[in-house]
């Protein structure tokens, strides 16, 4: 395995050798786009998306022919503190629902031709309660990161990263709070639907975790405040970069899991597009912090990679337009120039 890792330092080593954008593919895009039968810029962000696909796939024209979704599932010690409206056994029940084809992500993957794999991570062993100890030991952290690293086949041309884990909007709030500061309340949202006293309790849990672990380096924060599915998503994002696979980030939990990579190595998320903005208020704040403008803003807050899967349709359209449109010369259309 070229990406074999056995400790935190190996992961930091991977971050140091992330490849950059492919400038030849980018230049090929920039040569072709002005020739296509449309006014310059008239396809708006579809143009930026096809260019981004070129630059990070390292080829021109770009394709979205083998999109894959990798959904990681984990359980959380903090779930026992009453941070969720839903009992922790729902994580394993939903993994069974994914296997049976009954969840939203199954319908979305079918709609857009996305190959789906669901990767449950030690669901019978929740993380430690991060208000008292690091959520994961270093060995657990490395194992979860490796599960993500190993999940991305090299012929994938677009990766959707998502998660399932009852309680996991609590680590999702704690991570950016610890990375960037600010009040816990500003980063903590309703998740599956907590309100009133339960939301206040969730906010206290976030604040307590941040108080205990704040000041650690970014990947240490991911180990101490994250959970297995968050760590695995970070691993999948790194694997994609190493294999020249662009990534669509899903919602708040996914973006929070990826944020420590950017904090540890600026530019580490340049191959990632924010697929959508979740209804969790912390997500918009986090995307602003990362300088990523979401493609879709439809009030979704489901997780499961659902927002990113929906954006695969937009990416397919973008690639199809750039690759398939006729040039002014081919079509005999005056270009007005």
Please report how close the Cβ of residue 253 comes to a copy of itself at its closest, in angstroms: 13
| Of residues 176 and 307, the one with the C-beta less far from a copy of itself | 307
**304 part of the active site:** yes
User: Under the criterion CB under 8 A, does residue 94 sit at the interface with a copy of itself?
Assistant: yes
| Of residues 180 and 328, the one with the C-beta less far from a copy of itself | 328
- From 47, 262, 280, 304, the catalytic residue: 304
* 3 state DSSP class of 77: helix
Applying CB under 8 A, the span of 52-60, 82-90, 209-217, 230-238 interacting with a copy of itself comes to: 82-90
According to CB under 8 A, which one of 25, 71, 81, 90 is a site residue for a copy of itself? 90
User: Under the criterion CB under 8 A, does residue 198 sit at the interface with a copy of itself?
Assistant: no
The dihedral region occupied by 17, where left means phi > 0, alpha psi between -120 and 50, and beta the remainder, is alpha
Applying CB under 8 A, the span of 44-52, 138-146, 199-207, 258-266 interacting with a copy of itself comes to: 44-52
The set of long-range contacts for 108-114, using a CB threshold of 8 Å and a minimum separation of 24, is 108/305, 108/306, 108/309, 108/310, 109/69, 109/309, 111/313, 112/67, 112/309, 112/310, 112/312, 112/313, 112/316, 113/67, 114/67, 114/68, 114/69, 114/160, 114/309, 114/312
Q: Are 248 and 311 in contact (CB under 8 A)?
A: yes
Q: 60-77 b/e with 16+ CB inside 10 Å = b?
A: bbbbbeebbbbbbbbbbb
User: Under the criterion CB under 8 A, does residue 70 sit at the interface with a copy of itself?
Assistant: no
Contact positions vs a copy of itself (CB under 8 A): 36-46, 85-87, 89-90, 93-94, 96-97, 100-104, 106-108, 110-112, 192-193, 279, 295-302, 306, 309-310, 313-314, 316-317, 320-321, 323-326, 330-334, 336
Q: Which residues are catalytic?
A: 304
């Amino acid at each position: 395995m070229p990406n074999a890792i056995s400790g935190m330092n190996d992961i930091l080593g991977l971050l140091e050798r992330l490849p950059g954008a492919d400038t030849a593919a980018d230049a090929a895009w920039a040569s072709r786009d002005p020739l296509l039968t449309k006014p310059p810029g008239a396809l708006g962000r579809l143009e930026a998306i096809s260019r981004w696909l070129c630059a990070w796939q390292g080829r021109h024209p770009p394709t979205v022919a083998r999109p894959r979704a990798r959904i990681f599932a984990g359980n959380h010690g903090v779930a026992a503190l009453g941070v969720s409206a839903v009992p922790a056994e729902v994580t394993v029940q939903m993994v069974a629902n994914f296997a049976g084809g009954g969840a939203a992500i199954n319908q979305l993957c079918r709609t857009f031709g996305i190959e789906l794999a669901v990767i449950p991570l030690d669901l019978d062993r929740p993380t430690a309660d991060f208000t008292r100890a690091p959520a994961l030991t270093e060995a657990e952290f490395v194992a979860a990161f490796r599960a993500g690293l190993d999940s991305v086949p090299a012929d994938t041309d677009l990766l959707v990263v998502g998660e399932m884990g009852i309680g996991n909007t609590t680590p999702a709030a704690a991570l950016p709070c610890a990375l960037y500061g600010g009040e816990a309340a500003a980063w903590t949202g309703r998740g599956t639907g907590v309100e009133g006293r339960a939301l206040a309790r969730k906010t206290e849990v976030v604040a307590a975790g941040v108080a205990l672990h704040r000041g650690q380096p970014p990947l240490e924060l991911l180990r101490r405040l994250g959970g297995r599915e968050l760590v695995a998503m970070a691993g999948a994002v790194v694997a994609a970069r190493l294999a020249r696979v662009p990534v669509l980030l899903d919602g708040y939990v996914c973006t929070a899991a990826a944020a420590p990579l950017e904090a540890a190595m600026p530019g580490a998320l340049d191959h990632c597009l924010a697929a959508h903005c979740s209804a969790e208020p912390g997500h918009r704040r986090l995307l602003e912090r990362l300088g990523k403008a979401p493609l879709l803003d439809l009030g979704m807050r489901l997780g499961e990679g659902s927002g990113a899967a929906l954006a695969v349709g937009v990416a397919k359209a973008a690639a199809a337009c750039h690759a398939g449109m006729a040039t002014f010369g081919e079509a005999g259309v005056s270009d007005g120039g």
